[in-house]
Amino acid sequence: MTKQPARIQVRETTSVECYSFEGKLEEIIEMLQDWEKEGKWEGIEIDYYEDGNHYQLYKHREETDKEYDKRMRLLEKEKSEKLKAKERRRKEYEKLKKEFEDTP
């Protein structure tokens, strides 16, 4: 039985309106605490643009069964494609080897 790859941590984000951080500090702290309780959010990222800022809350979670299955299918497909490419290169090598072996 082959060992299955371990599940990975997936980064999940959600957008936050930039005006959410305007107002009284107590209200902002309360809002952040609510977000932490509701979604177990770990932090905030800020993307800076010419027309303003864009905020995203982020957290890490274990990938779901569906995500895991999709990742495993992609890994198998990549492995299969690498084997096919290697076999094509081997055949080309054999062809060239045979061609140049006969050359004096």
How many folded domains does the chain comprise? 1
For the chain, the straight-line distance linking the first and the last C-alpha, in angstroms and rounded, comes to 51
DSSP secondary structure string, 33-56?
HHHHHHH---EEEEEEETTEEEEE
Q: pTM of the predicted model, to two decimals?
A: 0.58
Rounded CA-CA distance 68/63 in Å is 6
Q: Residue 60 belongs to what domain range?
A: 9-101
Average pLDDT rounded to a whole number, residues 53-64? 87
Answer whether residue 40 is part of any domain. yes
The model's pLDDT over 19-54, given as tens digits with 9 standing for 90+, comes to 677 889 998 889 888 888 877 788 888 888 788 778
Per-residue pLDDT band for 84 (boundaries 50, 70, 90) equals: very high
Answer whether residue 52 is part of any domain. yes
